[in-house]
Amino acid sequence: MANYKIHDNPVRDEWTAKIDGLKTLAQGSAFLVDFRKKHTTPFRQDYSLELDWGWIECKIEEKVAMLKHAELNDQQFLNNNVCGANAQAVADAVVAKMAACTDKYEAEKLHINFRIENKPPIMPVNVFMDTDRILGTKLMELRNTDYYALPLAELRKARGVTVITLQ
């Protein structure tokens, strides 16, 4: 029987090679944020990795976590984002923006962008989780009133949804 692994494929092999080429935390974190923007959000424009993006993101996160462990001391590891910014200051700034937000669609973008730019290993988990909870709570409060009152076509238009159909 062939020595075949179910998760091996040329797309993953290509991305594994790219990930292996990341040698510094700065390279890895920029690569991870760029990957998330291009391939993981509801706002992505590229669906070419539809079957593999989750696996690839996980492998990039693993690499960034290892680079973070190698390059940061304990104090930096627990208190700073990988770019060196104080994690709590970053969190406080986005929470303040969300607190001032009154539009559910703008709040949704704030929350998604926070996750793209700060989801661990970019931000320490202890700061990220609490901030994500605060942002999500405010988003749900803004959405709660008549979110589904719009007909589907109008809701899609308001959110800027592009409908993709398979032929």
Please confirm whether the linkage preceding 121 is cis (ω < 30° from 0). yes
Structural domain including 65 reads: 1-71
The pair of three-digit structure tokens given for residue 62, joined into one six-digit string: 């693993």
Q: Are residues 64 and 93 in the same domain?
A: no
Q: Are residues 21 and 57 in the same domain?
A: yes
Residue 36: what residue type? R
User: Which of 47, 71, 95 is where one domain is finished?
Assistant: 71
**Of all residues in the chain, what percent are helix, strand and coil, respectively (each to 5)?**
65, 0, 35
How far is the C-alpha of 109 from the C-alpha of 42, rounded, in Å? Answer: 10
CATH number at residue 37: 1.20.1280.10
Q: Are residues 47 and 107 in the same domain?
A: no
With respect to residue 64, please indicate whether it lies within any of the assigned structural domains.
yes
DSSP letter, residue 144:
H
**Based on the structure, what is the number of domains in the chain?**
2
Residue 53: what residue type? W
More confident call, 150 vs 73:
73
Q: What is the pTM of this model?
A: 0.83
Q: Cα–Cα–Cα angle for 37, 17, 113, nearest 5°? A: 10
pLDDT digits (tens, 9 = 90+) for 39-67: 998 888 888 898 899 999 999 999 999 99
Q: Are residues 61 and 94 in the same domain?
A: no
pLDDT digits (tens, 9 = 90+) for 94-111: 999 999 999 988 999 999
